[in-house]
Amino acid sequence: MRFSQSALNHVYGWLLLTPAAILLIAFTHYPTAATLWQSFFSTGTALRPAAFVGLDNYLFMLEDDVFWTVVRNNVIFAAGTIPVSIAIAFLMAIWVNGKLPLRGLARMSYFTPTILPMIAVANIWLFFYSPDIGLLDQVLGAFGLPGHNWLGDPDTVLGCIIVLAIWKEAGFFMIFYLAALQSVPPDLEEAAKLEGASRWYFFRRVTFPLLMPTTLFVMINAVINSFKLVDQLFILTKGGPDNASSLLLYYIYEVAFSFFDQAYAATLTVVLLAALAIIAIGQFVILDKRIHYR
Amino acid sequence: MSGKRTFSLTDGIETGAAWLLAFLWLLPLLYAFWSAFHPSEYATRFDLFAPLTLDNFRTAWSRAPFARYFVNTFMLVTSILIAQFVLCTLAAYAFARFRFWGRDVAFALVLVQLMIMPEVLIVENYRTMSHLGLVDSILGIGLPYMASAFGIFLLRQTFKTIPKELEEAARVEGCGMLQVLWKVYVPLAKPTYVAYGLVSVSYHWNNFLWPLVITNSVTTRPLTVGLAIFGAPESGVDWSIITAGTLLAVAPLLAAFLLFQRQFVQSFMHAGIK
């Protein structure tokens, strides 16, 4: 009786899991494996079917200047976006959690970018950045500074994309800090006050370390996002000028659906998957360490 | 040594900074409202006495099939949500309450999707969809997202907190496995469903890259893709009309957010902490 019950458990468990498992395998695991497989073949055409080419696609990639530009851009994009958006998110959370007047309204302002589609806000930001008539140039003009073609200049375009990403993401990250701050017991602050600790000291020695796990969590999310966030490029720059603002996922899209080179797109996707895998392993190692400390 | 007095200046600076940031964060939206509700001569000129108008909305609505885009987005978002609720509930129940062969490995394999989101796999997933004949269909946009690792994980965590005694009591009353799930687990996990639902709806309302890849006609395009085409410089519309179209596209979600602000923020928090 007992035995058959536990056997039934195996059957029921798998039956419940099967529908989700089929879809996950079809659209996550299979395509991951297929991408790797395809990266060893050439792109087939009507006349010439795909053929095994070994590492040719990878060798081509290493010679491809655009690939290196895009990788460099992605690193700059991540390095520019992640620390600043996390720092701003932290500040936002502290302000909204404190005794700021009308903090409900402030919280709403901070959070609004999160629920708006990137495509829609990019349309608006396009106006901010447009030369001469755009808001940025109008403000600079009021101080007597000359206008600038922000998105047309390879030196400033990536900075523009970074600012937009920071604006879009900070409010989302704020939420996690806010949740963490609300779980900090209020008597800690009372005790610190009684001891005469300054606010800065309290922040440095109590709040900041307590929020460390949240910072790690947010950071991992931010790193993943820095590979995923490309919608704005479709509106603002199309990766230009001369690929100065193109990111890896955007380049994959271009190669696959504008240049129709499926095999090379698969090769580039392998690089992206590898980057994500490294993040996953890194996360594992860091989380493991944290458990040891406890 | 009164602490209040020495803090008041820094408090003032902080409050000012907090509000400046809030203003900057709201500025794009404020500008969009300004430009959409005024004639196009005022799109880049700020004059308190500029006349108000709704013409930009009328023009935007007539220049692109927004009604159709709304229907598409609505069908997309609801079909994904329903499928996610069903699939994730079943899988989460299996992981939370059944011991079966390979459970831990299966769970780890599910979590892979948290890292490798469908956005990354557009090339291969497009190939799969064309084999299945689902290119340019609403189902084709939604299918890769329906089994969501995030949803499974969230519901599993919630189901695990529900006391086993409740399940046993229901079993004694003669409930079968699915009845227990429906009558005990689902009602008790309602806050998680609300939280996950809000996160999912806003994600898919805003999603762009995969829908762009997989659709190529008016009958399937969601709002984001329609808006990108509408706003493209080649289409030659002016700022006022683009911002009006942009506001049209975000209006339902923005209105819902403003009305249920607390609920939204709480939901994102709830979904994030787990």
Contacts of B7 in chain A (CB under 8 A): 199
Q: Using CB atoms, pick whichever of A35, A107, A176 lies closest to residue B121.
A: A35
Q: How far is A19 from chain B (nearest CA, A)?
A: 6
Residues B74-132: pLDDT tens digits? Answer: 999 999 999 999 999 999 999 998 888 999 999 999 988 988 889 999 999 999 999 99
Residue A1 has pLDDT above 50, yes or no: no
Asked if B109 has any chain A CB less than 8 Å from its own CB, the reply is yes
Residues B197-210: pLDDT tens digits? Answer: 988 998 999 999 99
Cross-chain residue pair A27–B125, CB shorter than 8 Å: yes
Closest chain A residue to the Cα of B246, Cα to Cα? A120
Name which of A94, A114, A119 to mutate to probe chain B: the one with the most chain B Cβ atoms within 10 A of its Cβ: A119
| pLDDT confidence bin for A293, thresholds 50/70/90 | very low
Cross-chain residue pair B264–A29, CB shorter than 8 Å: no
A242: left (phi over 0), alpha (psi -120 to 50) or beta: left
Contacts of A225 in chain B (CB under 8 A): none
Structural domains for chain A: 52-293 (1.10.3720.10)
Backbone angles phi, psi at A74, to 5 degrees: -65, -40
Asked if B22 has any chain A CB less than 8 Å from its own CB, the reply is yes
Tally of CB atoms within 10 A around B40: 16
Written as six digits, the tokens of A48 are 């010439």
Secondary structure class of A52 (helix, strand, coil): strand
Do residues A266 and B126 touch, judged by C-beta distance below 8 A? no
Q: How far is CA B169 from CA A262, B156, B157, B165, B166, in A?
A: 56, 21, 21, 6, 5
Written as six digits, the tokens of A241 are 């000028």
**How much of chain B is helix, strand and coil, in % rounded to 5?**
80, 0, 20
Return the domain boundaries, chain B. 1-26, 64-273
Residue A70 has pLDDT above 80, yes or no: yes
**pLDDT at position A289:** 62
ipTM over 0.90: no
Residue A278 has pLDDT above 50, yes or no: yes
Q: Measure the CA–CA gap between A275 and A267, rounded to whole angstroms.
A: 13
Q: Minimal CA–CA distance to B243: which of A125, A111, A169?
A: A125
β-bridge mates for residue A52, sequence order: A41
Residue B274 has pLDDT above 60, yes or no: no
Q: Using CB atoms, pick whichever of A105, A115, A280 lies closest to residue B253.
A: A115
* pLDDT above 90 as % of chain B: 43
Residue A288 has pLDDT above 80, yes or no: no
Contacts of B149 in chain A (CB under 8 A): 24
Q: Minimal CA–CA distance to B40: which of B217, B237, B238?
A: B238
Residue A4 has pLDDT above 80, yes or no: no
> What mean pLDDT do residues A182-201 have?
80
For residues A96 and A203, the model is more confident at A96
> What mean pLDDT do residues A206-230 have?
87
Name which of A22, A109, A223, A253 to mutate to probe chain B: the one with the most chain B Cβ atoms within 10 A of its Cβ: A109
Name which of A88, A115, A258, A261 to mutate to probe chain B: the one with the most chain B Cβ atoms within 10 A of its Cβ: A115
Do residues B271 and B191 touch, judged by C-beta distance below 8 A? no
Q: Measure the CA–CA gap between A284 and A266, rounded to whole angstroms.
A: 26
Do residues A152 and A135 touch, judged by C-beta distance below 8 A? no
Q: Using CB atoms, pick whichever of B25, B87, B98 lies closest to residue A112.
A: B25
Length of chain B: 274
Written as six digits, the tokens of B176 are 């079968």
Q: Using CB atoms, pick whichever of A9, A32, A179 lies closest to residue B99.
A: A9
Tally of CB atoms within 10 A around A164: 24
Distance of CA B122 to the CA centre of its chain: 19
B52 burial level (CB within 10 Å; 0-12, 13-18, 19+): exposed
**pLDDT at position B236:** 59
Preceding peptide of B211 cis, ω within 30°: no
Secondary structure class of B189 (helix, strand, coil): coil
Name which of B7, B8, B23, B25 to mutate to probe chain A: the one with the most chain A Cβ atoms within 10 A of its Cβ: B25
* Most confident among A255-264, A277-286, B7-16, B263-272 (mean pLDDT): A255-264
| pLDDT confidence bin for A291, thresholds 50/70/90 | very low
A101: left (phi over 0), alpha (psi -120 to 50) or beta: beta
Superfamily of domain B64-273: MetI-like (1.10.3720.10)
Residue contacts between A and B (CB atoms, under 8 Å)? 255
Backbone angles phi, psi at A281, to 5 degrees: -65, -45
Q: Measure the CA–CA gap between A111 and A206, rounded to whole angstroms.
A: 26
Closest chain A residue to the Cα of B23, Cα to Cα? A109
**pLDDT at position A214:** 85
Q: Measure the CA–CA gap between B261 and A128, rounded to whole angstroms.
A: 27
Residues A26-37: pLDDT tens digits? Answer: 999 999 999 999
Which alpha helices (DSSP H) does chain A contain, by range? 2-24, 30-38, 56-63, 65-97, 103-115, 118-129, 135-142, 157-182, 186-194, 199-202, 208-210, 212-228, 231-236, 248-257, 262-293
Cross-chain residue pair B44–A108, CB shorter than 8 Å: no
Q: DSSP character for A203?
A: I
**pLDDT at position B63:** 85
Residue B62 has pLDDT above 70, yes or no: yes
Written as six digits, the tokens of B25 are 């964060």
Residue B5 has pLDDT above 70, yes or no: no
Do residues A56 and A38 touch, judged by C-beta distance below 8 A? no
* Most confident among A84-88, A151-155, A203-207 (mean pLDDT): A84-88
Residues A102-123: pLDDT tens digits? Answer: 888 898 899 999 889 999 999 8
> Which helix (H) or strand (E) is A119 found in, with range?
helix A118-129
For residues B88 and A210, the model is more confident at B88
Mean pLDDT estimate for chain B: 87
